[in-house]
Amino acid sequence: MTKQRVKQAILGCNEQGDKAFVPYIMAGDGGLQTLKKTILFLQEAGATAIEVGIPFSDPVADGEVIQQAGERALAEGVTLRKVMNELASFKEEVTVPLVIMTYLNPVLSYGLNKIAADCENSGVYGLIIPDLPLEESGLLKDALRDSDVALVQLISLTSTAARIKAIAEAAEGFVYAVTVNGITGVRDSFNEGLEAHLQKLKKVSSVPVLAGFGISTPDHVQTLGALADGVIVGSAIVTALHENELEKITALIDASKHQVSTL
């Protein structure tokens, strides 16, 4: 399998002179019945792909905003299985690729082979699992081998050159370039070495590089988008959805349009 669906969506966006914009949402925040409406809104607003978070009791990569959203979703009884079933129910209306962000325990509980089949049945073309290191990803990669579901790799600011090379070689869909040392959440500023870091990733990666963590304003989208192939925005999207301030989301997405890379 070529694992091309997510990659091609990003490259197609870049070819039009735009940077990819991938909003993160917490599935089931506000009730699972809101998932279809939220995804179709983001699709219509111009999202390149949509990262669908699964609530989990021990979210090691998530900041306060996303943790609270996860707690609200857990209180609604939301599970990975229920999210998959809900996504499958309106798959035909979704034209952008969906990417599930979850942790390893829910995936193991679901069943490695079953999740590969159910992702395809639900319009899911990527998995992001922050607590699954490269060295232990073989079992899941084997389960996904005959599917078009990409296992997205994360690279941190502290990764060594050798590790960056190894992860880039294994990357599918896109490289998730973590832009801060720490968990998700709104930031006012970014590391001074971030530009050089993103340049390095783009040189060694055969798939697009998306910057994520801490990106929360249209200026951030433009600044970091210019250094990468696109951006991922989480906490700001989750907050805007929770507070029903949809105009803030459209402003973020609009900021990714008609950008020319500085690289």
Q: Per residue in 128-151, pLDDT tens?
A: 999 999 999 998 999 999 999 999
Domain count, the chain: 1
Residue 260 belongs to some domain of the structure: no
The neighbour count for residue 1, using CB atoms within 10 Å, is 12
Question: What letter does residue 181 receive in the DSSP assignment?
Answer: S
Residue 262 maps to a domain: no
- Asked if pLDDT for residue 195 goes beyond 90, the answer is no
Q: How far apart are CA 44 and CA 78, in angstroms?
A: 25
- Quote the pLDDT of residue 2: 65
- How many CB atoms sit inside 10 A of residue 185's CB? 18
In a domain, 218, yes or no: yes
Round the CA-based radius of gyration of the chain to a whole number and report it: 17
Residue 179 pLDDT level (bands cut at 50, 70, 90)? confident
Model confidence at 182, pLDDT cuts 50, 70, 90, reads very low
Cα distance between residue 97 and residue 83, in whole Å: 15
Residue 33 included in any domain: yes
Q: pLDDT tens digit string along 2-38? A: 689 999 999 999 999 999 999 999 999 999 999 999 9
- Look at phi and psi of residue 244 and say left if phi exceeds 0, alpha if psi is from -120 to 50, else beta: left
Residue 261 lies in a domain: no
Asked whether residue 21 is domain-assigned, the answer is yes
Domain that residue 200 falls in: 5-254
pLDDT for 68-89, tens place per residue?
999 999 999 999 999 999 999 9
Distance of CA 101 to the CA centre of its chain: 7
Decide which of 174 and 183 is more confident.
Answer: 174
CATH of the domain at 104: 3.20.20.70
Report yes or no on 263 lying in a domain: no
Percent of the chain with pLDDT over 70: 92
3-state secondary structure of 156: coil
Active site residues: 51, 62
Residues with Cβ within 8 Å of 71's Cβ and at least 6 positions away in sequence, in order, are 55
Residue 66 maps to a domain: yes
